[in-house]
């Protein structure tokens, strides 16, 4: 099944390193990051899970619950976690789904047969509190993900969910944002009291409204 932005993220029940969870219940009213790994005891995956653990405070600050997926079983996950903690100086503190029957991988179209018939690609799904998919990213197995970019996108998604703004190329937290075309310049000047800078009638900047 091909999932698109705005679709409701499929719910599921799964066994994880922190017990059985039901996905939508696990998320509650929080944002979610669901991301897959090709296999346990692999080098790139080890660095990624360690990096995610080290960023625990950043995800918590943004109200994001993290959930990883691997098609290996629970025993394998539990044997792998000490390695991750050791080599990345971290403490894996989020659940890893044991998806040996590939239920979640198939539900979220994480297996791309032309890349590998068995292992998942490095899929990323950011899910909003409304349980709808806000972002999808797909990396090949050979390329580790940029988690600073994932945090940047979450910052943008959360900002645009609360204000009528978009974020320009290479935007990072604290920089000016763009007023969306649906808001007239006159209304923007009333709405964004820090000021509106008009570059073109369709390109208007304003300071980040929640700063």
Q: Which tens digit of pLDDT belongs to each residue from 35-81?
A: 988 889 999 999 999 999 999 999 999 999 999 999 899 999 999 99
CA dist list (Å): 133 to 81, 143, 181:
28, 23, 23
* DSSP-H helix ranges across the chain: 23-27, 43-54, 56-61, 74-88, 103-107, 147-162, 185-191
Structural tokens at position 196? 């509106």
* pLDDT tops 80 at residue 186: yes
The pLDDT score that the predictor gives to residue 139 is 87
- In this prediction, residue 110 has a pLDDT band, given cuts at 50, 70 and 90, of confident
Residue 112 banded pLDDT, cuts 50, 70, 90: low
pLDDT at 200 over 90: yes
pLDDT over 80 (residue 87): yes
DSSP run (H or E) holding 98: strand 96-98
Which domains does the chain possess? 13-145 (3.40.30.10), 163-206 (3.30.1020.10)
Residues annotated as catalytic are 45
| Per-residue pLDDT at 92 | 96
pTM of this prediction?
Answer: 0.91
- Count of alpha carbons within 13 angstroms of residue 93, beta-carbon side: 13
* Cα-Cα-Cα-Cα dihedral sign, residues 113, 117, 122, 127: positive
């Amino acid at each position: 099944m091909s999932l698109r932005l705005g679709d409701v993220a499929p719910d599921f029940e799964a066994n994880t390193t922190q017990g059985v969870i039901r996905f939508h219940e696990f998320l509650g009213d929080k944002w979610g990051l669901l991301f897959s790994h090709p296999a346990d005891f692999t080098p790139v995956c080890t660095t990624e899970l360690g990096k995610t653990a080290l960023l625990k405070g950043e995800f918590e600050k943004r109200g994001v619950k993290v959930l990883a997926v691997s098609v290996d079983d629970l025993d394998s996950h539990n044997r792998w976690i000490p390695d991750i903690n050791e080599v990345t100086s971290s403490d894996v503190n989020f659940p890893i789904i044991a998806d040996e029957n590939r239920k979640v991988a198939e539900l979220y179209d994480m297996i791309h047969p032309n890349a590998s018939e068995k292992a998942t690609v490095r899929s990323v799904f950011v899910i909003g509190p409304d349980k709808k998919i806000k972002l999808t990213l797909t990396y090949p197995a050979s390329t580790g993900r940029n988690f600073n970019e994932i945090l940047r996108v979450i910052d943008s998604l959360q900002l645009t969910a609360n204000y009528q703004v978009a974020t320009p190329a290479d935007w990072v937290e604290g920089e000016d944002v763009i007023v969306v075309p649906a808001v007239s310049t006159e209304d923007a000047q009333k709405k964004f009291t820090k000021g509106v800078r008009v570059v073109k009638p369709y390109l208007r900047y304003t300071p980040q409204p929640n700063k």
